[in-house]
C-alpha cells in the first residue's frame, strides 16, 4: 500500500490545509482526501505542485508499506 504522509510534511513546513490548497490550486476537499490517506490516485501534476509548495521531494510524501504492516 502507498501511504501519503502529507500531514507530516505540512506540519514540518508549518502550513495549513487552506494555505496549501491555495498554493497548489486544488480544492480543500481534494487536498483533505490526500491528507487523510483516502485517495485512490494522485495526478503527477498535483504531486509536482505539492512538492513545489512544500519544497520537498515526492519520496518525502509517498511511502510504500507492505500490506502486513498497515494498521
The Cα–Cα gap between 20 and 54 comes to: 8
Amino acid 22: pLDDT: 94
CATH number attached to the domain at 2-69? 1.10.260.40
DSSP class of residue 67 equals G
pLDDT averaged per 10 residues in sequence order, the chain, 71 residues: 93 96 94 93 95 96 83 57
3 phi and psi angles, rounded to 5 deg: -105, 135
The angle formed by the CA atoms of residues 12, 13 and 14, to the nearest 5 degrees, is: 90
Q: Are 10 and 35 in contact (CB under 8 A)?
A: yes
Question: How many CB atoms sit inside 10 A of residue 6's CB?
Answer: 24
pLDDT at 71: 57
User: What are the domain boundaries of the chain?
Assistant: 2-69
| Residue 70 confidence (pLDDT) | 57
Amino acid at each position: 500500500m502507498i501511504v501519503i504522509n502529507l500531514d507530516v510534511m505540512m506540519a514540518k513546513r508549518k502550513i495549513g490545509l487552506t494555505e496549501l490548497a491555495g498554493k497548489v490550486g486544488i480544492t480543500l476537499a481534494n487536498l483533505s482526501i490526500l491528507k487523510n490517506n483516502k485517495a485512490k490516485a494522485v495526478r503527477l501534476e498535483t504531486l509536482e505542485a505539492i512538492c513545489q509548495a512544500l519544497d520537498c521531494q515526492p519520496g518525502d510524501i509517498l511511502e510504500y508499506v507492505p500490506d502486513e504492516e498497515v494498521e
